[in-house]
Structure 1
Amino acid sequence: MEYLLLGLLILSPMTGYELQQFIKKNLALICSHSAGSVQTALSKLEKEGKVTASEILTGKRRKKKFFITDAGRSAFSGWVSQPMQAEKVKNMELARLFFAGLARPEERLAAIRDYIRQMKGTCQILCAIREQFQYLNRRELPPGTDWPQVLRFQGYTIQYGIAAAEFEINWYSRLLRELEEQP
């Protein structure tokens, strides 16, 4: 969570609420968007000197806006430049499939149908994010960041999510047909 927040703060200073809402809207499939998770991570980053905060007055409300520090940029740079680790990608839901033979046939079928429904919903969400993302690509962005590269790799992440969801829908649909024929 901490590195995700550092990356977002590189793109733009934000309040805790703005960070939470951005994650909820765009990255909820990657990590938790709970206020507690975001605030805990921001507190930790602030104690470590990786972010600073300043109170701003918006109307009658005081808001705490977070900014990344040089130490935060350095930590983020070290993290983002590391190779991705395949063993870190886990899907605990596969344990349900592993043990599905212990469930009654009608329960297995219902669980798989519901999972396919959920993945179709995930795919729809990602397609909506892709549409918003395409709009963002056409808009004027503040100077100082290599936006074409930032947006390029964010686009790859969205493409990956859609492809992964479509793969799971197709794979589980084939499994469902097989189990319907031979429970």
Structure 2
Amino acid sequence: MSHVILGLLLISPMSLYDLVKAFEAGVSLFYSASSGSIKRALDNLLRQGLIEVASVDPGARGRKVYRVTEAGHQEFRAWMTGEPAGQDLETVALPRLYFLGLLEPDERAPVLHRITARIEADLARLTGLSEHLDGRDIPEGLRDVARHQFATLDYGIATHRFALDWFRRHAERQEDAGPGEAEPAPRPEPD
């Protein structure tokens, strides 16, 4: 969550309230957080020197507006350009995609390629598990349970195949746009 907050603050300095609203308005599509967890992450980022208080509104509430420090900017960039690590593919890939426009144009394709490589590795692991389980003798009393467990594995394989195809196409569009050119964002087709 800290890197998501850094990304949001790089777009614009914000208060805790503004950050909660930013999560609700867009980030919640791939990452959910309570106002308490956002506050704890802000306090941690402050302690680490990755953000600072840009201003405090006068008055009883003293609303604080936060901004990213140079150290925070470097941390965010290192996270964006580093290897995507973590268990859940969506929380690994989608925040990087969401903030990709904060990187220089020549830094974007390598990020997309690292995400694609991660998806390929995860897909290979799931496919290998499916092949390993294929043809296993399932005890009679567990066949109905196993059928749904295999369906869950099939779903995981299908979503990874979709993600791989989508990220490959997006990477191609990014490369076709060329440096400094605006790439049109893909829009969902209406039903």
TM-score, normalization by structure 2: 0.46
